């Protein structure tokens, strides 16, 4: 697939003679590539996202008086060169309508550069204004054999047609030559954009060029002499997702050449290249060529003849899948997110931690799992060869932050805190299903929306409270333990035990804590206790103590 953004516009005549001429409105058509390759990534974001931002750049710099329309292609069908649609008719500029339409485009199809140029010119020929095209593409035309000739034909037809071209992340020398030719044939400028930031800068400059300002072209003034750009490279290969899809232009493709082993499988490593299109000087003989793209790997045997180039066109039988996590009443954020694709049987395929991930997967059936903290959701889907699909998942998740205080007046518990989260208990349960435990003074949990029980503990003190987590909301709870710190010593003791002072109806006292040494420190709930000292394994003494919430008790026992 090839990504393309075209903008057709008429420059205002008063730019050339601002004093003598009347201001003249321009007609513009923005044609956005919604082909499958727009799900490819550049520096961590998809090309469609970068293109949407580039549309904002153009809208911010275009004259309010100029009329604007939006055209898209490749957004309705796979493998269809006629999938071109005027999404927003040409009229007074409506930035909101253009942005909304761009946001709704779902890249999936082919890249008809020449046909789009013809259709834009056909719409604009009914105006007396000059027409300027801004074309942003990441690769080569795949529907028409010669878009450069089509551009030259439109220029000669008297439509007043000029094409300014931006090459977006173009690594294929054939594609770059073709795009430069389109600009040169129509008297336009060519600019390179290697990433999303470069695309924004290039869009600013071509907007200036379209409105009559002087902008230097980065294309050679004359076409290079006709020659094979891969001369001397006898192994050449391209890859595509499906039989009817465009060749891939993603530089993340990995090509590895091996010598075959005794079983005709990949053996001794020969060479590895990272490029959208393979073109290398390979040794003669039998080899195995491996192409890797995302989670897709394909090995093919190849016989290399030193006397002539060997050219391969590999079909990966794969597709693009992007995912979008949506939190009702909130945002998914950019941390703690885990996306995992598995087979229907649960076998792991690939994992990503990106907020908006993009995957290349073999065609087939999958489960997509999304988790943030302790909240999870899942959906099943089937990916066909050549598909470019977006998978939205709703994840009702909220954030719970918990700390604790010894007493209502303080102080806060700064060490030794345990925070446990449980599902609500059922009718026959003392406690519901366990969810998570944290040990931080301020423990933070991302939880699925719903009710929970928080159990907070420090030493021997425990307190349980209930909480309701709402999607997209932050809940902060400080749990009061009503407890104090007890530090006891008993010189010569073999152990110290703490029991509740109040006896049960059967006359027994509940055991609370044991220290197998002559010193102890712990946290106890406020109340009355008995401290029992043992010497050489025998009970030596009992001392009543009282613990007050928020206070420290230090005592040397006799």
pLDDT tens, 247-264?
888 888 999 999 999 999
How much is the pTM? Answer: 0.71
* Average pLDDT of the residues in 275-290: 94
The string of pLDDT tens digits covering residues 292-328 is: 999 999 999 999 987 789 999 999 999 989 898 999 9
CATH top-level class of 483-556: mainly beta
Domain ranges (residues) in the chain:
4-210, 235-315, 318-394, 397-480, 483-556
Pairwise CA distance, residues 334 & 372, whole Å: 10
Higher per-residue confidence, 226 vs 119: 119
Residue 2 has pLDDT above 80, yes or no: no
Same fold, 4-210 and 397-480: no
Query: 397 burial class (0-12, 13-18, 19+ CB within 10 angstroms)?
Result: buried
Beta bridge partners of 329: none
* CB-based burial, 513-537: b 16+ in 10 Å, e otherwise: bebeebebebbbbbbebbbbbbeee
The string of pLDDT tens digits covering residues 155-176 is: 888 667 788 898 888 877 888 8
Q: Work out whether strand 474-480 and strand 397-405 pair parallel, antiparallel, or are unpaired.
A: parallel
Pairwise CA distance, residues 522 & 487, whole Å: 7
Q: How is 397-415 classified by DSSP, letter by letter?
A: EEEEEEEEESSTT--B--S
Pairwise CA distance, residues 375 & 103, whole Å: 28
| Tokens representing residue 91 in the block | 């009229």
Predicted confidence band of residue 463 (pLDDT cuts 50, 70, 90) = very high
Tell me which residue of 36, 57, 50, 320 sits closest to 195, measured CA to CA. Answer: 50
Pairwise CA distance, residues 255 & 296, whole Å: 12
* pLDDT score recorded for residue 24: 54
* pLDDT score recorded for residue 159: 66
Range 4-210: architecture per CATH:
3-Layer(aba) Sandwich (3.40)
Q: Give CA angle at 116 (217, 47), nearest 5°.
A: 65
* Average pLDDT of the residues in 193-201: 88
Tell me which residue of 269, 454, 466, 444 sits closest to 373, measured CA to CA. Answer: 444
H helices of 65-172, in order, are: 95-104, 113-124, 147-156
H helices of 443-515, in order, are: none
Pairwise CA distance, residues 202 & 212, whole Å: 16
Query: 50 burial class (0-12, 13-18, 19+ CB within 10 angstroms)?
Result: buried
Q: Give whichever of 8-17, 173-182, 315-324, 546-555 has the largest mean pLDDT.
A: 546-555
Please state the CATH superfamily assignment of the domain spanning residues 397-480 in this structure. Carboxypeptidase-like, regulatory domain (2.60.40.1120)
Residue 44 has pLDDT above 60, yes or no: yes
Pairwise CA distance, residues 142 & 246, whole Å: 6
Say yes or no: domain 235-315 is CATH 2.60.40.10. yes
Predicted confidence band of residue 23 (pLDDT cuts 50, 70, 90) = very low
Phi, psi of 316 (to 5 degrees): -85, -15
Spell out the SS3 assignment of 136-165.
Answer: EECCCCCCCCCHHHHHHHHHHCCCCEEEEE
Pairwise CA distance, residues 332 & 494, whole Å: 55
- Percent of the chain as helix, strand, coil, to the nearest 5: 15, 45, 40
Q: Which fold has domain 318-394?
A: Immunoglobulin-like (2.60.40)
Beta bridge partners of 341: 350, 368
């Amino acid at each position: 697939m090839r990504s393309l953004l075209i903008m057709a516009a008429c420059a205002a005549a008063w730019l050339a003679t601002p004093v003598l001429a009347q201001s003249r409105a321009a007609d513009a058509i923005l044609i956005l590539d919604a082909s499958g390759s727009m799900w490819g990534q550049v520096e961590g974001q998809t090309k469609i996202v970068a293109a949407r931002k580039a549309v904002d750049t153009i809208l911010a710099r275009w004259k309010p008086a100029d009329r604007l329309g939006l055209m898209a292609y490749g957004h309705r069908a796979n493998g269809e060169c006629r999938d071109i649609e005027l999404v927003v008719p040409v009229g007074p500029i409506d930035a909101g309508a253009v942005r909304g339409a761009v946001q709704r485009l779902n890249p999936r199809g082919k890249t008809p550069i020449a046909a789009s140029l013809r259709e834009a010119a056909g719409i604009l020929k009914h105006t007396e204004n000059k027409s300027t095209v801004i074309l942003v593409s990441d690769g080569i035309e795949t529907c028409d054999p010669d878009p450069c000739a089509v551009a030259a034909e439109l220029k000669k037809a008297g439509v007043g047609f000029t094409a300014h071209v931006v090459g977006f992340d173009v690594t294929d020398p054939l594609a770059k030559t073709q795009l430069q030719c389109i600009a040169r044939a129509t008297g336009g400028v060519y600019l390179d954009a290697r990433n999303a930031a470069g695309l924004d800068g290039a869009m600013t400059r071509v907007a200036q060029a379209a409105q009559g300002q002087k902008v230097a072209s980065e294309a050679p003034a004359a076409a290079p002499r006709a020659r094979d750009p891969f001369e001397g490279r006898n192994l050449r290969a391209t890859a595509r997702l499906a039989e009817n899809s465009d060749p891939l232009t993603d530089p993340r493709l990995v090509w590895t050449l091996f010598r075959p082993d005794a079983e005709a499988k990949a053996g001794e490593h020969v060479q590895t290249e990272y490029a959208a299109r393979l073109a290398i000087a390979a040794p003669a003989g039998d080899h195995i060529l491996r192409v890797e793209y995302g989670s897709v790997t394909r090995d093919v045997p190849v016989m290399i003849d030193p006397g002539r180039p060997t050219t391969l066109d590999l079909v990966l039988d794969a597709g693009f899948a992007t995912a979008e996590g949506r939190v009702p009443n909130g945002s998914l954020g950019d941390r703690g997110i885990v996306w995992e694709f598995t087979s229907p049987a649960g076998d792991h395929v690939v994992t990503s931690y990106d907020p908006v991930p993009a995957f290349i997967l073999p065609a087939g059936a999958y489960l997509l799992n999304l988790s943030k903290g302790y909240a999870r959701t899942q959906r099943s889907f089937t990916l066909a060869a050549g598909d470019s699909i977006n998978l939205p998942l709703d994840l009702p998740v909220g954030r719970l932050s918990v700390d604790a205080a010894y007493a209502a007046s303080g102080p806060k518990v700064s060490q030794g805190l345990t925070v446990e989260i449980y599902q609500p208990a059922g009718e026959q349960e003392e406690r519901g299903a366990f969810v998570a435990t944290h040990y931080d003074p301020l423990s933070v949990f991302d939880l699925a929306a719903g009710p929970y029980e928080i159990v907070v503990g420090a030493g021997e003190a425990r307190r349980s409270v209930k909480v309701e987590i709402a999607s997209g909301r932050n809940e902060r709870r400080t749990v009061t333990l009503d407890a104090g710190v007890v530090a006891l010593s008993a010189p010569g003791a073999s152990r110290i035990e703490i029991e509740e002072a109040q006896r049960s109806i059967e006359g027994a006292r509940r055991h609370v804590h044991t220290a197998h040494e002559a010193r102890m420190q712990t946290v106890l709930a406020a109340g009355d206790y008995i401290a029992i000292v043992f010497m050489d394994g025998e009970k030596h003494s009992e001392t009543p103590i009282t613990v007050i919430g928020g206070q420290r008790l230090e005592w040397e026992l006799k």
